[in-house]
Structure 1
Amino acid sequence: MRRQSSLLLLSSAALAAVLFIGPVARAATADPRPTAEDVVTFDASDVNSFSGAFLAGRTADVDHDYLTAISLYRKALDFDPANLEIRERLMISLLLNGDFEDGLKEADALKEDAAVERITKIVRGLDALRDKKFDTAKKVLAYDGPNDLDRLTHQLLSAWADIGAGKGKRAMANVANLKGPAWYKVFTSYQLGAMALVTGDIGTARQHLNTAVTNNEAVATAPDTFMRAVMALARLEAAAGNKQKALDAIAVGDGMVANYAPLKALRQSIEKGEKPQQQVTNAAEGAASVLFSIGGALNRQGAEDMVSLYLQISHALDPKSADTLILLGGIAEKLEQPERAIKFYSSVPVDSPMRRISELQLGVTLSETGKAEEAKQHLKALIDSDPSDIRSYIAYGSVLSEAKDYKAMAETYDKAVEVIGPVPKPGDWSVFFQRGIAFERLKQWDKAEPNFRKALELNPEQPQVLNYLGYSLVDMSKNLEEGLDMIRRAVDARPDDGYIVDSLGWAYYRMGKFDDAVTELERAVQLRAGDATINDHLGDAYWRVGRKLEAVYQWNRALVSEGEDINREHIKEKIERGLPPLDPNATTADRSPAEPAAPPPPAPANPDKKS
């Protein structure tokens, strides 16, 4: 199945052990927290029992409607003021909503509660650090437990408390001597560089930042931290008068993460002879960078609450940090809170090098709220302001894709390819991928296929391209073995992606390997429950292996599941009559339903974004 998730580790038990919370942000930017005007809340005054308030609060909590959860938990406490579980949930909801001062009050009240000790220690410790009570912060943040992530986080935060207290050598020695898994190095190298910069030790800072920038694992493990290290090194060299070394550092970053707008803005500034200020200049900003780095590295599907807490703390300690606001916006989008996402994007400082990224993402999010024309005008203006910025075309193409205006989408990516020129970089694969999708949707396969293959030439094992092209080849009964091989490689890269696993199952089906199809499609349904196309595919496979009652059940599920592109009339016909008998003389390539599967929606304009 070609569909992809749209345009942003731990078990639930472990989650409670790593909730890091901090004090309130003192920012001059717009407040991105939701208000009663943003969320249709449950009226707590209508609740007349403790159980009613608690259950409704938990429901709101699970739905990430923190404002409603806060109101209901407070109502529950009116009935039972001493209930620790409710107070714990209230504290967490307040912090997730960005209400740090109120969350801090609850943390102080719960400081003797062993169930949330790790949370309250972090809250109180970071509050002390923010208020420059560094010795107090050290005592509160002390940790001697077994959790690797906790140990790394506490040690780095404690080191920044030492930095604030003027004990830089001790801080850096403790971090340098920190024992733990190999992945610690990804984070400690950058942090040691940032600490050396704050203490004025430029030589040591250069050494550690170079280590961070040349760590091959850093891009895959913590790309946000890697880019911070690249930019910190470039700023260091620019400030030291080493303009070419600064540009060389930027070139390293550009080679790893193409079209990264903040890097482009930094290059332009340095080329003008400017000496941009470092992002981390004090202990509070340093502590914020710890939480940003770890939160960014853990940012994936299912970890939204945990990551939000890391980033909300980071924002509290460093409210001017644009990359934190953008990641928070991305999480709000994944939680289907576009209005809140727009507030985060709008809060990025106007003079930030990341302002353009926030403007681009804001345009895409406007489209998701139904404001398609406003989104188009917004993104067209961004293209006009900098026609060389490929990301502008990608964002605009995403809006056109959402509107199913594939002709305009193809034309937009034609312009992007012109800007790229005759020698595209590996990072430009997504432009060709998206142009291929536009042509495929226009039923111009002769133009679509070369673009997909160009995307693979630039990024040979990109799973989304392998899946989309492989699925297309199989669904058209063209180059079946090649298509199957592509899909298998995509599954190897992303074994838990239900859409890609569905592609493999459907490939087996089209080749007449119905038992193999059932195996893969059953797994796809487990991975992506409630998707109409996957249910439809599994129903077809069940029918072919003689499991006809189960086939009808899956077809009925398809009718009530998500998926606007399925052919509902055809599914109803299958429920009534089943599938036609197979022609025993047909080749395996012809062993397909009377009507091919409906094409799924296109991939997102930013297909490499974390989900």
Structure 2
Amino acid sequence: SFLKHLHENGQTPRELVMLLLESGVKYQASGDDDVAVAVFELARDVAPSDPALEAYLGQAYLDSRRIHDAVKSLLGARERHVGNLQLDGVYARALVLSGQADQGIGVMEDALLTHADEPVAHIGMANLLVETGRVQDAVRTLRDAERRFPTDPSIPFQLGAIFEQQAQYADAELALRAALERDPSNHMVLNYLGYMLANRGERLHESVQLIQRALESAPHNGAYLDSLGWAYFKLEKWDLAETYLRQASEQMSQNSVIQDHFGDLLFKRGRYKEAIEAWERAVVGDAELIDLPGVERKIRDARERVGR
């Protein structure tokens, strides 16, 4: 109510809005989706004319699986901010997730016509096509965009991510290395390639080097700390693995993949009770990209070992 009072009297400082935005993004990254929603709702209330805050709030609704709220909120936001690409992209995805795939694709096609000179519009279209099962159409969209934007690293990066998600690892590596040729210090690409290599147990020393370079640009990024810890785990360097996986686990307690990694490390070190706790956090976390039955089997195995 105090913040709303400031806003009503024209006294809401931009610095406060930015602080709320940064806080919301932090909660999103850590998997605290409900808190992120509350923060973005507050930010929108004190700065209702900012379309970026509306888009962040819509994405937070999607992350917390409040699809109907996302559609409703974004529909109103798009009426207030006609032609905003960020809002169009999140709204299109909300429609797809609500079962209105054709309408979502249509929204993004219209946005792409309006914003054809922006790489992010082509990436948004490709991501939506993947989400609706049209992977080859997504690849074609990005291949066309590669030719249109020959120096932009985000296009081959997204192409590499799509190939990796389809288990086309050789193609993924080629695309990710093409992105690094365009921007050798891009920490997102460095981490993605390094983690992909680590996860597959390939060229682990190079994997460590790539992730370390990513951390030079973002030393407190929890996902990157997890990547480095996982690479050391694969190298069987248990002390180093624990150093980084513990930091990642504490920073991103709702991230199921990170908790699963930390549990694996603790189990390997014979600390079964701690491993169970980490895996239980994985089960109740965001549950994305983990083998839930597999994690539950690991919990049962560890409990049997504790009881011996």
User: Do they superpose with TM above 0.5?
Assistant: yes
**Residue aligning to 1:446:** 170
Query: Is the 1:540–1:551 Cα contact (8 Å) retained in structure 2?
Result: yes
Distance across 2 between alignment mates of 1:328 and 1:549: 42
Q: Secondary structure at the match of 1:364?
A: helix
**Residue aligning to 2:144:** 415
Q: Secondary structure at the match of 1:300?
A: helix
**Residue aligning to 2:44:** 308
TM-score after normalising by structure 2:
0.78
Query: 1:45-69: per-residue Cα shift (whole Å, max 9, x none)?
Result: xxxxxxxxxxxxxxxxxxxxxxxxx
The yes-or-no answer on 1:576 pairing with 2:305 is no
- The number of equivalent residue pairs is 280
The yes-or-no answer on 1:340 pairing with 2:73 is yes
Q: Which has the larger radius of gyration?
A: 1
The yes-or-no answer on 1:400 pairing with 2:129 is yes
Deviation at 1:449, TM superposition (A): 1.0
Distance across 1 between alignment mates of 2:296 and 2:218: 33
Query: Displaced runs of 4+ in structure 1, greater than 6 A?
Result: none
Query: Is the 1:364–1:396 Cα contact (8 Å) retained in structure 2?
Result: no
Q: Equivalent of 2:96, from 339, 364, 367?
A: 367
Query: Is the 2:129–2:138 Cα contact (8 Å) retained in structure 1?
Result: yes
Distance across 1 between alignment mates of 2:123 and 2:115: 13
Q: Aligned AA for 2:22?
A: R
Query: Is the 1:345–1:361 Cα contact (8 Å) retained in structure 2?
Result: no
Q: How does 1:321-336 map to 2 (within 5 A)?
A: 324=50, 326-336=51-61
Distance across 2 between alignment mates of 1:568 and 1:466: 28
Distance across 2 between alignment mates of 1:539 and 1:404: 33
Query: Is the 1:407–1:438 Cα contact (8 Å) retained in structure 2?
Result: no
**Residue aligning to 2:272:** 548
Distance across 2 between alignment mates of 1:482 and 1:398: 29
Q: Equivalent of 1:523, from 237, 247, 265?
A: 247
Aligned-pair identity in percent equals 26
Q: Aligned AA for 1:364?
A: R
Deviation at 1:297, TM superposition (A): 8.0
Distance across 2 between alignment mates of 1:430 and 1:332: 24
Query: Is the 2:242–2:262 Cα contact (8 Å) retained in structure 1?
Result: yes
Question: After alignment, is 354-363 or 565-574 more displaced?
Answer: 354-363
Deviation at 1:305, TM superposition (A): 6.1
**Residue aligning to 2:64:** none
Query: Is the 1:346–1:362 Cα contact (8 Å) retained in structure 2?
Result: no
Q: Aligned AA for 1:567?
A: D
Give the 3 Å change call, closer, same or farther, for CA 355–509 of structure 1 in structure 2.
closer
Q: Aligned AA for 2:108?
A: L
Distance across 2 between alignment mates of 1:547 and 1:459: 42
Query: 1:232-267: per-residue Cα shift (whole Å, max 9, x none)?
Result: xxxxxxxxxxxxxxxxxxxxxxxxxxxxxxxxxxxx
Deviation at 1:414, TM superposition (A): 1.5
Query: Is the 1:328–1:344 Cα contact (8 Å) retained in structure 2?
Result: no
Distance across 1 between alignment mates of 2:256 and 2:115: 41
TM-score after normalising by structure 1:
0.42
Q: Equivalent of 1:299, from 14, 21, 31?
A: 21
Query: Is the 1:542–1:550 Cα contact (8 Å) retained in structure 2?
Result: yes
Q: How does 1:93-112 map to 2 (within 5 A)?
A: 95=4, 107=5
Q: Secondary structure at the match of 1:301?
A: helix
Distance across 2 between alignment mates of 1:380 and 1:335: 23
Q: Aligned AA for 2:55?
A: G
Query: 1:150-182: per-residue Cα shift (whole Å, max 9, x none)?
Result: 9xx5xxxxxxxxxxxxxxxxxxxxxxxxxxxxx
Query: Is the 1:542–1:548 Cα contact (8 Å) retained in structure 2?
Result: yes
Query: 1:14-49: per-residue Cα shift (whole Å, max 9, x none)?
Result: xxxxxxxxxxxxxxxxxxxxxxxxxxxxxxxxxxxx
**Residue aligning to 2:225:** 501
Distance across 2 between alignment mates of 1:434 and 1:560: 29
Distance across 1 between alignment mates of 2:99 and 2:79: 18
Query: 1:452-496: per-residue Cα shift (whole Å, max 9, x none)?
Result: 112122222222111110001112222211211111222332233
Give the unaligned 5+ runs of structure 1.
1-88, 96-106, 108-118, 127-140, 142-149, 154-290, 316-323, 579-611
Give the structure with the larger helix fraction.
2
RCO comparison, higher one (Cα < 8 Å, 6+): 1
Query: 1:356-386: per-residue Cα shift (whole Å, max 9, x none)?
Result: 5543443234335443331112223444566
Distance across 2 between alignment mates of 1:518 and 1:329: 39
Distance across 1 between alignment mates of 2:166 and 2:266: 32
Query: Is the 1:342–1:362 Cα contact (8 Å) retained in structure 2?
Result: yes
Give the 3 Å change call, closer, same or farther, for CA 577–494 of structure 1 in structure 2.
same
**Residue aligning to 1:539:** 263
Q: Aligned AA for 1:509?
A: F
